[in-house]
Structure 1
Amino acid sequence: MNGRTLKEKFKEFEVFGNLDRDFFGIKTDSRLIQNGDLFVALRGENFDGHEFIADAVKRGAVGVIVENDLEFDKDILVIKASDSREAFAKISSFFYGDPSKRLNIIGITGTMGKTTIAYLLYRLFNFLGVPSGFIGTIGIGIKDKFSLTDLDPPTTPFPFDLHRYLKTMSDDGVKYVFMEVSSHGIKDKRIYGINFKRKILGTMGVDHIDYHKSIEDYLNTKVSFFEGFESPILNGNSLFIDRFIEVSKDPIFYGDDVKFDYSFQNLKNHGLSISFEVYESGTLLGTIDLPILGRYNAYNFLAVISYAMLEGASFSKIKEFAKTASVPGRMEIYTFKGIKVIIDYAHNAEEIENVLESIKGNGNHLIVVFGAVGTSEKEKRIAMGRAVSKFADFCVITSDDPRGRNVDEIIKDLKSSVSIEHEVIPDRIKAIKYALENAKENDIVAILGRGVESKMRLSNGSIIHFRDIDIVKEVFHED
């Protein structure tokens, strides 16, 4: 694709310079530029991509997407727009033939439940014989082929990668795509221009204040996703639900109130599984048996039921699927030599409480391994330590993903609110091994924070790769 094509397509942009230059990719980081790329100059609160244009060109960029009036070499293709983020999304979609128009895309957002709802819908629809895809925190799924992938940025990819995934899915015959939509993805306009068939709200809380700087900005960002949207599926019991109702048209509700469109009652724990009755507009449909712990997962699965039944799925088929439902890195339960090991992505105080409350009492002692990412704010870390102390008998405080930050400072904040017996082991691999080697038969070891993430950026800038489950299997000599 070249500048002439863009000039003809996008009358709202100023396209000039070398219009015959072909480009093959679009990147936001000048350090990752390869010959033939466009560089998009994005602005953030603490950075301005326009400052890195020269570096991008030096590394092989054939063109740039900019907002500023700047002088360029006549051999450079220039796309000037009032909003670089919107231009980035529009050009990315056009480059791949506007694939979202050929797909039924369902966007799932919220503070908690995005991955679980999106992934289980993806698996359910394939189970029902409907070719479906998944894009989210834990990876990419195309029909029955799922790949654990650490997306960068996580959860919702930048537009060029996002539309590439969508094109691949469309070309492969996918009909439905279940996609996590993060607050970063909304605010950064990564999803700009995508035509969503349905939008789903999981459970709201508060997170990512390091990025949003205020609770209000975080909430406004989430709410904006539903602005004017018709018949979204909303968690009627969620925090801040009134704000979502205000902006939505004819919402559909799910939750624990039989007055909702879809509801659950009589939740019961059965060791490491749960069951609950499901109602549609107050009428009993039947009982779901789910091999995943936690009241919050009853809400998550009810969101799955709500959308599936609105699309015509039978309750009996959903009930059959539920019996073997699982999500990588979300309340994954293993048993090794009589020790129960739980791996979960819980990375804020509310999620930690939800997970630990669900598993407490299913063994003798509850041992928790946890840390916090480097970009988390101090208040969040303190709350996490307090949440662990509320349920655990013993904990190991360690690193999560330092992201170049000082691990000692992170651990200091976590430790300040830990009121139970604990050990501090900054090396996460050693911390996991310590917890497992000191656990006894019928104990529970909960390893929290990373789920299936494999990349860890250390304080010195180096990157190592491992998954928590890999270390667990190494300790127990499992393949």
Structure 2
Amino acid sequence: MKNLQDILYKVAIKQVFGNTNIEVNELVFDSRKVGKGDVFIAQKGVNVDGHLYVDKAIALGAKAIICEGFSFDRKEGVTYVRVSDANEALAIMASNFYENPSTKFPIVGVTGTNGKTTIASLLYQLFTKAGYKVGLLSTVKILVGDKEYKATHTTPDSVTINSYLDMMLEAGVEYCFMEVSSHGIHQKRTEGLSFAGGIFTNLSHDHLDYHKDFAEYRNVKKKFFDELPKSAFALTNIDDKNGSFMLQNTQAKKYSYALKTMADFKVKILEKQLSGTLISIDNTEVWTKLIGVFNIYNLTAIIATAELLGLEKLEILTIVSQLESVNGRFEYVISDDGVTAIVDYAHTPDALKNVLETINDIRTNNEKVITVVGCGGDRDKTKRPRMAHIAAHLSNQAIFTSDNPRTEDPQSILDEMEAGISPEHYNKTLTIINRQQAIKTACKLSDAGDIILIAGKGHESYQEINGVRTHFKDLEEVTNCFNQLKKK
């Protein structure tokens, strides 16, 4: 039980009806999950307005309501608190409810279009190998030390974030690395958290189904850095044209990383192979298992962050050479006859371009590059023709297929993708709605030495069609194909 008055500390309150000096059980924003003695926070979501469910929440036992207005009748014995922003109120209340765990050990947030998962996950690896107990909040999974939990969102809701941070504190976690999405920032899920540092990776075309335009998307990312405290560090990719923009109004200590321009932390690529990359930093050569220029940017951010958090440079570089690639990020398997299949989460035009340019940079040009790619349903439609154009332009063969159609017609998605194909590329593209069949076709079209890229889903272990999720994992599918072809 917690005192409501204490939980409301620092919340921007407009009006109160009833007594706030009461004991409450849980903070709940889903009316279906309300229990006796809970506080119900009525949020105005993208599709649902929580104010419509206040009466239901009270019927289920809520004794306090946090809301932005009174579109319902107030009931005797219930405390009502009107706030200016319910999302922000929930985040601050969640931090207070769990006694502000983010202030008790360093948390570093990673934001940008691409690279968030890789950077957060590899920082978890690095600090764990350095002997620390580490927490991770990522798209792929949530880790409290070595205990794993399933992730449902890139940035979870604020109650979930604080509950995991509280668990980390109880478990003796010393550092936490966290992905911070534009949705999470915009919906105030990270309000009330105290960050020891923030990392900006890059900014490219994504989430324009949610944000009005690119400028809003960029400004939402910047807001994360605007709100960092003076005690934190702000680390930005200065090679990205938006890198310096992120730091314009931050109070945090400013640092930069780069491969091309002068920066506080700069890495040079010396050698690139399918098995890894040789890099140089401060005249020290290091071999890493990570592949591709985009991954070396990620690695540079990791090295910089570890140094800013106090690790010794020699220890950092020693561990960097041991780091393994992240699940679903340039993950590959090689068939018995030498066909390489690469599975990558690339689901934006920029990410797909990066991966294909990496493959083309490493290949000898004696082999074909076959790309299998789709675009998710109920998401940004404007990137579909661009994704198709990139796949067709940078591959010898492109196969367009379903990703997660969700509630959209898969054929309509593919039609929109096909609109981006230039006439000179028509003869090297195929459209196969069934993703399993598309992967099988790529395998059958491949010869010894060829490279198959299966892009868009990466680590995901499901495919969502008509709102129903069924088990589907790209790496499993292509491995099965290789095994079946081997038997013939």
Same fold (TM over 0.5): yes
Mapped contact 2:200–2:237 kept (Cα < 8 A) = yes
> After alignment, is 290-299 or 412-421 more displaced?
412-421
Cα displacement (A) at 1:56: 4.7
Mapped contact 1:262–1:302 kept (Cα < 8 A) = yes
Aligned-partner Cα distance in 2 for 1:88–1:406: 36
Aligned length: 465
Alignment partner, residue 343 of structure 1: 343
Alignment of 1:136-155 (within 5 A): 136-147=138-149, 149-151=150-152, 154-155=153-154
Report the residue type matching 1:156 in the other structure.
T
Alignment of 1:82-161 (within 5 A): 82-147=84-149, 149-151=150-152, 154-161=153-160
Alignment of 1:33-52 (within 5 A): 33=33, 35-36=35-36, 38-44=39-45, 47-52=48-53
Mapped contact 1:345–1:451 kept (Cα < 8 A) = yes
Q: Does residue 404 of structure 1 match 2:399?
A: no
Report the residue type matching 2:285 in the other structure.
T
Aligned-partner Cα distance in 2 for 1:195–1:15: 31
Cα displacement (A) at 1:130: 1.5
Alignment partner, residue 303 of structure 1: 301
Cα displacement (A) at 1:270: 2.1
Alignment partner, residue 461 of structure 2: 454
Mapped contact 2:29–2:50 kept (Cα < 8 A) = no
Cα displacement (A) at 1:59: 6.3
Unmatched tracts of structure 2, length 5 or more? none
Aligned-partner Cα distance in 1 for 2:17–2:6: 9
Q: Cα deviations across residues 22-52 of structure 1 (Å, max 9, x unaligned)? A: 4335234x4x525445443222466432123
Report the residue type matching 1:470 in the other structure.
E
SS for the counterpart of 2:210 is helix
Q: Residues 238 and 73 (structure 1 numbering): CA distance in 2 closer, same or farther, change over 3 Å?
A: same
Aligned-partner Cα distance in 1 for 2:93–2:227: 25
Q: Cα deviations across residues 56-105 of structure 1 (Å, max 9, x unaligned)? A: 55666565431112323335554432210112112222222321121210
Aligned-partner Cα distance in 1 for 2:472–2:62: 33
Q: Name the TM-score, length of structure 2 as normaliser.
A: 0.88
Report the residue type matching 1:66 in the other structure.
C
Cα displacement (A) at 1:257: 4.5
Q: Residues 427 and 40 (structure 1 numbering): CA distance in 2 closer, same or farther, change over 3 Å?
A: farther
Alignment of 1:309-348 (within 5 A): 309-325=307-323, 326-337=325-336, 338-348=338-348
Q: Does residue 247 of structure 1 match 2:249?
A: yes
- Aligned alpha-carbon RMSD (Å): 2.5
Mapped contact 2:372–2:398 kept (Cα < 8 A) = yes
Q: Does residue 463 of structure 1 match 2:469?
A: yes
Cα displacement (A) at 1:111: 1.2
Q: Residues 477 and 91 (structure 1 numbering): CA distance in 2 closer, same or farther, change over 3 Å?
A: farther
Aligned-partner Cα distance in 1 for 2:97–2:227: 28
Q: Among residues 364, 368, 380, which one is paired with 1:365 in the alignment?
A: 368
Q: Does residue 472 of structure 1 match 2:478?
A: yes
Mapped contact 1:357–1:391 kept (Cα < 8 A) = yes
Q: Cα deviations across residues 100-121 of structure 1 (Å, max 9, x unaligned)? A: 1212100111111111111111
SS for the counterpart of 1:382 is helix
Report the residue type matching 1:379 in the other structure.
T
Alignment of 1:230-241 (within 5 A): 230=230, 231-241=233-243
Aligned-partner Cα distance in 2 for 1:244–1:222: 7
Mapped contact 2:8–2:96 kept (Cα < 8 A) = no
SS for the counterpart of 2:382 is helix
> After alignment, is 81-90 or 424-433 more displaced?
424-433
Mapped contact 2:331–2:342 kept (Cα < 8 A) = yes
Q: Residues 73 and 343 (structure 1 numbering): CA distance in 2 closer, same or farther, change over 3 Å?
A: same
> After alignment, is 224-233 or 185-194 more displaced?
224-233
Q: Residues 92 and 268 (structure 1 numbering): CA distance in 2 closer, same or farther, change over 3 Å?
A: same
Mapped contact 2:28–2:34 kept (Cα < 8 A) = no
Aligned-partner Cα distance in 1 for 2:40–2:405: 28
Alignment partner, residue 71 of structure 1: 73
Report the residue type matching 2:29 in the other structure.
K
Q: Residues 336 and 320 (structure 1 numbering): CA distance in 2 closer, same or farther, change over 3 Å?
A: farther
Alignment partner, residue 266 of structure 2: 263
Q: Does residue 275 of structure 1 match 2:299?
A: no
Cα displacement (A) at 1:169: 0.9
Mapped contact 2:64–2:79 kept (Cα < 8 A) = yes
> After alignment, is 35-44 or 203-212 more displaced?
35-44
Report the residue type matching 2:476 in the other structure.
D
> After alignment, is 94-103 or 341-350 more displaced?
94-103
SS for the counterpart of 1:253 is strand
Report the residue type matching 1:316 in the other structure.
L
Aligned-partner Cα distance in 2 for 1:25–1:163: 11
Cα displacement (A) at 1:55: 4.7
> After alignment, is 69-78 or 228-237 more displaced?
69-78
Aligned-partner Cα distance in 1 for 2:227–2:69: 32
Q: Name the TM-score, length of structure 1 as normaliser.
A: 0.90
Q: Does residue 187 of structure 1 match 2:186?
A: yes
Alignment partner, residue 355 of structure 1: 355
Report the residue type matching 2:272 in the other structure.
N
> After alignment, is 439-448 or 132-141 more displaced?
439-448
Report the residue type matching 1:40 in the other structure.
I
